[in-house]
Amino acid sequence: MTTSYEGSQIMPDHSSDQYPVDATNKVKRRHDRGFYDHDTVHALLDSAALAHVAYVIDERPFCTPTLFWREGTRLYWHGSSASRMLRNLSKGEPACLTVTHFDSIVLARSGFNHSADYRSVMAFGTARLVTDLVEKDRALTMMVDRFFPDRTALLRPTTGQETKATAVIAMEIEKASAKIRARGVVDDEEDYELPIYAERLPIRTVIGTPEPCPRIIPGVERATTLESYREGRHLEEALLEAYQLAYS
Amino acid sequence: MTTSYEGSQIMPDHSSDQYPVDATNKVKRRHDRGFYDHDTVHALLDSAALAHVAYVIDERPFCTPTLFWREGTRLYWHGSSASRMLRNLSKGEPACLTVTHFDSIVLARSGFNHSADYRSVMAFGTARLVTDLVEKDRALTMMVDRFFPDRTALLRPTTGQETKATAVIAMEIEKASAKIRARGVVDDEEDYELPIYAERLPIRTVIGTPEPCPRIIPGVERATTLESYREGRHLEEALLEAYQLAYS
């Protein structure tokens, strides 16, 4: 085995397609933590709603949080047409979209071995404004339905004005890498004998009690398609389940 | 009132120092959500462990997740000396460090009004390698003690080899902005009459059951300074409490 998930439950599927690897996306530090197959990369993307996008304006880097989703090997995100990032990306700009699942903080017996468990993806490509109206309409639907399957059909229809005011960005993934640490406490062998406390502090992102809008008119019920999102559930599980429903 | 926290419990302190505002950090889209005072910016930073850092290599953007912490108006993060980012930053490079607290997904009565509650900070500056040994030693201590007050004193001392293998990056915050949405469902007034379900789906990042290393030698107890980190607690509360202890 030249690769390992270091104890993670996720198993790499070596029959899956791979993203090409070069100097841009090759995991250099701790290369044993790097994966490039579509299945691993896509599963980490589809179990997230929040990404951070890096882009360059006047040679300076910007890092912007945004909701996003995947369709095949293409990523989508959105924002107002007024935003700085989108104005700049309209002609097509290199971007890097990163998703991080933060799984634990690791307290070891030395400062050096303190660490964290995480699963992250960096995806590289050229971001462009979606100008084709058919692609844009579809994207505006999936922007909602990817998270809440079939919800758009229940909503007040989007107006032309709203469509105009929403910019949709698309980025074909040219290269991508996943990086996974799932090892908990790992100390130097001789340090285990020392009288020092060590632990893995697990972290999880969960759904709270759904808060219905107080102005819902009587008799209107929560759709059964929202059942993925229930109190106490890991957000990533609900997001992945909804994604699979939406694109099944 | 020209600014508002839109229902958030956090109150802006207008007597606090402000970060300078210019085209780089001015919140343009939804400028009513933008804040620049040190107290707001710092509180959002100090209640987080994970940041995403954007930097530029060969005119291309990279977005890297990392643990970080703040000291005054300076941010620190680290990585192996071997990493691509750090090699590049050694001469001082512009960077943008972003922290996002993701608080909810908002299901509205129209696609357009679907949203999220969040609190984010974008901090801009020039990242540089810490080469001064005194500053580096202090940083390697606070890299642990900022999260776990006084822990370094209990650990196996860091070796010269380890210090050499750990690169520490510092970035003086030149500009910063916080952006906060804490409004839940907000629909167009006429849409409230429609028979459509709407809700705020709260999200929180919590601490799980601490997992002591199975190889701890008998009699070694968890330090009382770790009591901030207990099962079910919001991670951000524990991190802020630990931060205040560490720097008090």
Q: How many CB atoms are closer than 10 A to CB A138? A: 16
The Cα of A1 is separated from the nearest Cα of chain B by a number of Å equal to 24
Total domains in the fold of chain B: 1
| Cβ distance of B210 and A223 shorter than 8 Å | no
| Residues of chain B contacting A220 with CB distance shorter than 8 Å | 195-197
Q: How many CB atoms are closer than 10 A to CB B170? A: 21
Nearest CA to B142 among B83, B88, B74, B80?
B74
Between CA A75 and CA A93 the distance in angstroms is: 14
Tell me which of B21, B53, B152, B155 to substitute to probe the interface with A (most A C-beta atoms closer than 10 Å): B155
Kindly state whether B137 is in contact with chain A, defined as any CB-CB distance less than 8 angstroms. no
Q: Is the pLDDT of residue A8 over 50?
A: no
For residue A3, what pLDDT band results from cuts at 50, 70 and 90? very low
Of chain B residues 115-134, which have a CB less than 8 A from chain A? 116, 118, 120, 122, 124
Kindly state whether B112 is in contact with chain A, defined as any CB-CB distance less than 8 angstroms. yes
Does residue B2 form part of some domain?
no
Tell me which of B24, B67, B156 to substitute to probe the interface with A (most A C-beta atoms closer than 10 Å): B156
Does residue A2 form part of some domain?
no
Q: Is the pLDDT of residue A227 over 80?
A: yes
Kindly state whether A12 is in contact with chain B, defined as any CB-CB distance less than 8 angstroms. no
A77-108 pLDDT tens trace? 986 555 666 666 667 889 999 999 999 999 99
| Percent of chain A residues past pLDDT 70, beyond the cut | 89
* Closest residue on chain A to B126 (Cα): A60
B180-216 pLDDT tens trace? 999 999 999 999 999 999 999 999 999 999 999 999 9
The predicted pLDDT at position A14 comes to 54
Between CA B41 and CA B19 the distance in angstroms is: 9
- DSSP secondary structure code for residue B34 in this structure: E
Kindly state whether B223 is in contact with chain A, defined as any CB-CB distance less than 8 angstroms. yes
| Residues of chain A contacting B33 with CB distance shorter than 8 Å | none
| Cβ distance of A210 and B196 shorter than 8 Å | no
Does residue A20 form part of some domain?
no
| Residues of chain A contacting B189 with CB distance shorter than 8 Å | none
A27-76 pLDDT tens trace? 877 777 889 999 999 999 999 999 999 999 888 999 999 999 999 999 99
Q: Is the pLDDT of residue A169 over 90?
A: yes
The predicted pLDDT at position B3 comes to 34
| Residues of chain B contacting A24 with CB distance shorter than 8 Å | 60
| Cβ distance of B203 and A205 shorter than 8 Å | yes
Does residue B244 form part of some domain?
no
Does residue B243 form part of some domain?
no
| Residue range(s) defining the domain that contains residue A127 | 31-246
Tell me which of A107, A151, A179 to substitute to probe the interface with B (most B C-beta atoms closer than 10 Å): A107
> Whole-angstrom distance between the N-terminal and C-terminal Cα of chain B?
33
Does residue B162 form part of some domain?
yes
> H-type helices in chain B, by residue range?
38-46, 84-89, 133-145, 160-165, 235-246
| Cβ distance of A156 and B194 shorter than 8 Å | yes
| Cβ distance of A203 and B235 shorter than 8 Å | yes
The Cα of A140 is separated from the nearest Cα of chain B by a number of Å equal to 8
| Cβ distance of A196 and B80 shorter than 8 Å | no
| Cβ distance of A195 and B217 shorter than 8 Å | yes
Between CA B127 and CA B147 the distance in angstroms is: 22
The predicted pLDDT at position B22 comes to 85
Between CA B33 and CA A54 the distance in angstroms is: 21
Q: What is the mean pLDDT of residues B127-150?
A: 95
For residue A220, what pLDDT band results from cuts at 50, 70 and 90? very high
Does residue A5 form part of some domain?
no
CB pairs under 8 A between A and B: 282
Q: What does the angle CA B145 – CA B151 – CA B157 come to, to the nearest 5 degrees?
A: 100
Q: Is the pLDDT of residue A244 over 80?
A: yes
Model ipTM value: 0.91
* Closest residue on chain B to A189 (Cα): B215
Kindly state whether A61 is in contact with chain B, defined as any CB-CB distance less than 8 angstroms. yes
- Quick one: three-class SS letters along chain A? CCCCCCCCCCCCCCCCCECCCCCCCCCCCCHHHEECEHHHHHHHHHCCCEEEEEEEECCEEEEEEEEEEEECCEEEEEEECCCHHHHHHCCCEEEEEEEEEEEEEEECCECCCCEEEEEEEEEEEEEEECCCHHHHHHHHHHHHHCCCCCCHHHCECCCHHHHHHEEEEEEEEEEEEEEEECCCCCCCHHHHHCCCCCEEEEEEEEECCCEECCCCCCCCCCCHHHCCCCCCCEHHHHHHHHHHHHCC
The Cα of A135 is separated from the nearest Cα of chain B by a number of Å equal to 16
CATH of the domain at B98: 2.30.110.10
Kind and range of the H or E element at B210?
none
| Cβ distance of A54 and B67 shorter than 8 Å | no
Does residue A15 form part of some domain?
no
| Cβ distance of A96 and B50 shorter than 8 Å | no
Of chain A residues 158-217, which have a CB less than 8 A from chain B? 158-159, 162, 165-166, 184-185, 187, 191-213, 215-217
